[in-house]
Structures are given as C-alpha cells and as structure tokens.
C-alpha cells in the first residue's frame, strides 16, 4: 500500500533538489503532488509556498516538503499561513526533533545548503518520526493560542453603513421609510415590537443582478466570499463629478477585486432631501471595472448610476458581468487604503436588493 501523501513546492533555486527528493519519495512509495516550479527559470518563492502550505492547512495533505535557496524565505512565507508549523532543517537531528517535539507539518530545505544523501536522510527522518505528544502537546496548544489571539486582535473597525430611520433620504421613486410601534410596553404590552416599511434598496444596500435583469440571480444567490475580503478604498477629488475612464486609469487597481469609491457624496448624507447631482460611475468606467476582473464595486450615495441616465447602462454593464454593486455607503471617515470588507446583506430570497450592514477593518 502507498504511504501518506506529500506535497512538494519550490522556487528556481530549490528546483533541482526538489526533483531529486521527488524521485526519492516516489521510490519510497509516497504519493507525491508537485505544485511547481517546473524549471530553473526565475520565480517568486511565496507563490509556490502558498499553494502548498494552504493545501496542508486545509487538510488536503498531511505534510509538505518545500525548497528554495537557503530555506529561510520559504519558511517565513509558509508560517504566514494559519495552521502551518514550518521548519528549516540542515541535519537529521533537527529534522527528528521538529517532528517529535514540534509536530512540524512543513519541512523546508535549502538547495544551496544540503543535497544528495544528506537531504534524503533529512526527509526520511522527518517523514518517519512521529509526534511524542505529552508536554509537547501542551506547548503546541500555547503556540496555537498565540495564532488564534493574533487573528482576533485585528485593526480598527469602520461602520460604513447608514442607519435606517423614519424619514431618511431614499431614491425619489422608492417608498419612504417608516418605523412605528406595533406593540409597546408603555401601552401595557409585554414587549416593544416595531413595524418597518422600507424598500429593498433602502440606505446602504446591495444590488443583485435581478434588480435590472429579469430572471437573473437574487441576493440569496450571491456567495459570501464575494461580500467579504480585501477591498481598496479610494478617496477621490472632492471636485470630481463623474468617475469615468480617465479617472479609472489614474487609479492603482492591480490585484484588486473589490473597490469602494469615496467621493464628495459622503457629505450629502447631512442633507434632509435627495440630491440629484451626485458623483456617479460612467458606463465607460463600468466596462473598465469589468475588464479589471472586479467582483464588487461600491459608492457613497444611493446609486452608482447618473441620475438622468434612463438606460441604467452602468448598472447593466456591472450586473450582467456578475459584479455586486453596493450603494449608500458612508466613507466620510475612512482613509484611503486597503481594508478587510465585511458586507452582510439581509438574506432576502430571490431579492433584487437588500439593506446591508457593512464594515471595513484595518489590516
């Protein structure tokens, strides 16, 4: 029977050692997956380290053996993945202890430092040594606690959603917001219960494709992974009246899949009446955002569309491409930069839209 599965990865400096160890592991009966690289052409070690380490962290592989020039950079990168305990080993003694005492699940070898028989014996020792548990398990629990507490102690949180209240500003053709008592303790009832009358596009809200495309997917079809993750906030020139293609070209959107536009719109929330002359996204810019592979686009007023655009071209362009639109944000106090977005809409079955509670967390 084959032994356990092992995943391998390397950069160009560790490529030759990876190939040698791969042949050795296959000879020993291990099931091997190699995520690359597959030549000595120059590459960036974090790319391949992350591919392998995330598969170990997800439980797809029990352990990984990774390679680079010294092993140091790859070890640092691997240990950034939650759940990974990576170690660089230069001899069989440290390889054995890293398993017996530390339950290391990633071994990193430096192609500049070890090779041939020594490298094979390090790998053999590491793969055949079991974790001793006991006092070492207690210590590992404390290591995991450091990781868990570090993930919970995150940066400052910004609430970028508008409060829902009676009489608030709404889109001119939408029903007004009313919130009134249905039951009141003051009237002798056992509890306070309110009755609320709102549209699905009240305040801070998302637009689902069904908003403008009959039969398209609704709010409840939007996967949470789109609504949560890295987002970039741009605070644009207060004199700007339209986000067009020229404006878009001046923004750094490399690697961005969620973008939120802060504009002079955020100051409009202080008014009691709807403002028609708000900053909007042009059809040209919408096409550019789709071409950039954007998953989510947000803006700080009740529509992403120009008020007088009857064709709703920006909406159609984005929604037909599956881009989620978030409208009615309040970005007035949020500095420009990258954040973790948490956008939580009401789960309205088949909904064309839904109010959301949205937060940005400093990274």
Q: What is the pLDDT of residues 311-346, one digit of tens each?
A: 889 999 999 999 999 999 999 999 999 999 999 999
Q: Where are the beta strands (DSSP E) in the chain?
A: 5-10, 31-34, 63-68, 86-88, 106-110, 157-159, 178-183, 193-197, 205-207, 228-235, 242-243, 258-262, 280-281, 296-299, 324-327, 337-345, 353-362
Q: Which helix (H) or strand (E) holds 296?
A: strand 296-299
Give the model's confidence band at 134: pLDDT under 50 very low, under 70 low, under 90 confident, else very high: very high
pLDDT band at 211 (very low <50, low <70, confident <90, very high): very high
pLDDT per residue as tens digits for the range 167-188:
999 999 999 999 999 999 999 9
User: Could you give the CA distance from residue 223 to residue 322 in angstroms, rounded to a whole number?
Assistant: 11
211, 280, 315, 316: the catalytic one is 211
Domains of the chain: 5-151 (3.40.1400.10), 199-362 (3.50.30.50)
Mean residue pLDDT of the chain comes to 94
Q: List, for residues 103-125, the tens digit of each pLDDT value.
A: 999 999 999 999 999 999 999 99
What does the pLDDT read at residue 147? 86
Average pLDDT over residues 26-49: 95
Catalytic (active site) residue 201: no
Q: Give the phi and the psi of residue 219 in degrees, each rounded to 5.
A: -55, -40
For residues 242 and 2, which has the higher predicted lDDT (pLDDT)?
242
The arithmetic mean of pLDDT across residues 22-42, rounded, is 95
Q: Give 232's pLDDT tier (boundaries 50, 70, 90).
A: very high
233 beta partners:
260, 337
Looking at residue 309, its pLDDT comes to 86
pLDDT above 60 (res 2): no
pLDDT (0 to 100) of residue 151: 74
Mean pLDDT value of segment 297-324: 93
Q: What is the DSSP string of 23-52?
A: HHHHHTT-EEEE----SSS---HHHHHHHH
Percent with pLDDT over 90 in the chain: 92
Distance between CA atoms of residues 126 and 100, nearest Å: 9
pLDDT band at 4 (very low <50, low <70, confident <90, very high): confident
pLDDT at 152 over 80: no
Given a cut of 60, is residue 224 above it in pLDDT? yes
């Amino acid at each position: 029977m084959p032994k356990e599965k092992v995943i391998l990865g390397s950069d160009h400096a560790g490529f030759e050692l990876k190939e040698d160890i791969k042949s050795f592991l296959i000879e020993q009966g291990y099931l091997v997956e190699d995520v690359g690289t597959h030549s000595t052409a120059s590459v960036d070690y974090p790319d391949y380290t992350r591919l392998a380490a995330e598969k170990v962290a997800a439980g797809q592989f029990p352990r990984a053996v990774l390679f680079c020039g010294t092993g140091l950079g790859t070890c640092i990168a691997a240990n950034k993945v939650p759940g990974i305990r990576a170690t660089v080993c230069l001899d069989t003694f440290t390889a054995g202890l890293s398993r017996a005492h530390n339950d290391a699940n990633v071994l990193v070898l430096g192609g500049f430092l070890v090779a041939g028989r020594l490298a094979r014996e390090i790998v053999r020792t590491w793969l055949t040594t079991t974790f001793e548990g006991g006092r070492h398990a207690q210590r590992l629990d404390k290591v995991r606690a450091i990781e868990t507490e570090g993930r919970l102690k995150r940066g400052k949180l910004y609430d970028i959603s508008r409060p829902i209240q009676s009489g608030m500003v709404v889109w001119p053709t939408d029903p007004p917001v009313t919130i009134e008592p249905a039951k009141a303790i003051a009237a002798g009832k056992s509890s306070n219960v309110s009755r609320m009358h709102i549209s699905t596009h009240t305040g801070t809200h998302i637009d689902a494709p069904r908003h403008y495309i009959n039969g398209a997917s609704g709010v409840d079809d939007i996967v949470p992974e789109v609504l949560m993750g890295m987002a970039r906030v741009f605070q644009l020139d207060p004199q700007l009246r339209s986000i067009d293609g020229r404006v878009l070209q001046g923004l750094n959107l490399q690697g961005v899949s969620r973008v939120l536009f802060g504009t002079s719109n955020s100051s409009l929330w202080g008014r009691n009446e709807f403002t028609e002359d708000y900053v909007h996204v042009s059809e040209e810019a919408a096409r550019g955002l789709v071409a950039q592979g954007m998953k989510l686009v947000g803006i700080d007023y009740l529509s992403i569309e120009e008020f007088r655009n009857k064709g709703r071209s920006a909406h159609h362009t984005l929604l037909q491409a599956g881009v989620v639109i978030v409208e009615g944000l309040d970005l007035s106090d949020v500095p420009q930069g990258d954040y973790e977005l948490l956008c939580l809409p009401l789960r309205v079955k088949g909904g064309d839209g839904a109010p959301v509670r949205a937060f940005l967390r400093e990274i």
